[in-house]
Amino acid sequence: MVRVTSFGVGVEWGSNAWVDTLDDCLIFGNGVGVSAAAGAGNSAEENRVVGSDIFNNAGPGVADASTADLMFLGTSFDYNGGPAIVSTDFQCFGCHFEGSAAPLVDDSEGGAVRVFGGMATVTGTGGSAPGIFLVGPSSRSTVVEGIFAYSLEQTGALVDGDAGGPVTILGVAGNRNGTIRRLAGSRVGQPTEFADAGFEPGAGDAGGQLVAGSIALGPGGTVVISAAGGSLLFSGPGGSGWSIGPQGVLGGGPALLLAGSSGALTTTSQTGNGDLVMSNSPAIVTPALTDPSVGGGQPVPRMIYAGRRVQLAGLPPRSCRAFSIAAPGSVAGDVAIASPTEPPLGLRRLRRPGGGMTWSARVPADGRVSVEVCNPAGTAGADTDDYWGAWVIGGYQPAAAAPAPRALR
């Protein structure tokens, strides 16, 4: 055992320092426990601190040592006069972080944080902090896996900061008192992977994860909502948004964007019938609408809706009158269906007893639907002022009729 105490810097790496090992050391009572010398360079390749304790230093336990690519194995960082580690590329395996205030690691100006196993404990009760592990724009990657986290003070997240690279948080346990509100804070802003079966929800947060950027799913990736009453919520400004809950319900708000070659959206409700219920006209945008079909029918390559308000003076007995509705995207020969869309003032008046009207629609030219309204009755029809809607089914190819049977001779 080696004791290193009462220095400005307890252990300092200079240039050209490779594969150095400190084993079973006590580094305490210094200004800074471990650091790199000013201007040091070409220092890397697994400089190791093994089975040691870095504690009760006036400043950080480890600071400004990014040139050293430090690796800590089974090492404790206890009650230093600042975060245990500051601005350092490092890896920790089975380490113990303990202090009276968060953050325990401030790598907002470092390069990478990789923590596997061990414990992170904040024992102070009087303050609050954004996160236990802070990362920054220069953080190329952040991995926190298999640790036990606990805090007596209110803490916004286990990991927070303007992360410059992907963040992975896996297998974290602890937080039984709920003071750590979530695993990743709102500033992380990077694709984030979560797997936190042992992590208890933060107070008032229901265990939700807040990510400012995106959650990317690779080939075959899925988002699974398995808890009773669980939901996937996307919120917009002012609280507007849509969510996918146990019943597969989407509310109004920001668009749901489906990327990829097919843009497929698959839903499964609790009743098992795959219902997709939409309200407040949310937008569902796909790269292409390719040959959808309804039931066992033929594919429907294109469907268009158009409409306009039409005033019709009373039709004389047994006469017809035609008008047009602009329908951009329609092609001559498409199938068209039209109807007044404001019952009872529209539909009921056109079909009143004793004076019922009939109508038909077709697409005689590209971009235009022609609607013909007829009065087959023996009395004049009433004046109408209605909004007419037209639905165009484009590119539909009906199944070929079966050939007629041949006559026997």
How far is the C-alpha of 104 from the C-alpha of 114, rounded, in Å? 14
Given a cut of 70, whether residue 43 has pLDDT beyond it is yes
Per-residue pLDDT at 206:
41
Residue 236 is given by DSSP the state: -
CA dihedral over 338, 341, 347, 350, signed as positive or negative: negative
- CB–CB of 24/48 below 8 Å? no
What's the mean per-residue pLDDT of the chain? 74
- Is pLDDT above 60 for 253? no
Tokens 């429907």 — which residue? 300
Exposed, middle or buried: residue 377 (CB in 10 Å: 0-12, 13-18, 19+)? middle
* Residues 6+ positions from 101 with CB-CB distance below 8 Å: 122, 124, 127, 129, 153
Q: What is the pLDDT of residue 73?
A: 95
Q: Is the pLDDT of residue 122 over 80?
A: yes
pLDDT tens for 130-164 read: 889 999 888 888 899 989 998 988 888 889 888 88
Q: String of b and e for 264-300 (b: at least 16 CB within 10 Å)?
A: eeeeeeeeeeeeeeeeeeeeeeeeeeeeeeeeeeeeb
Is the pLDDT at 165 greater than 50? The verdict is yes
Tens of pLDDT, residues 47-91:
899 999 999 999 999 987 666 578 999 999 999 998 998 888 889
What would the pLDDT profile of 374-408 be if each residue is shown by its tens digit? 888 888 877 878 888 898 988 766 556 666 666 65
For 191-222, the pLDDT digits (tens) are 555 555 456 655 544 444 444 445 555 555 55
pLDDT of residue 232: 54
Q: Which two tokens stand for residue 69?
A: 């690519």
Residue 58: predicted pLDDT: 96
Name beta bridge partners: 389.
Answer: 307, 339
Integer Cα distance of 12 and 15 in angstroms: 10
Q: Fill in the DSSP letter of residue 100.
A: S
- Per-residue pLDDT at 82: 87
Q: Give the pLDDT confidence score for residue 356 in this predicted structure.
A: 72
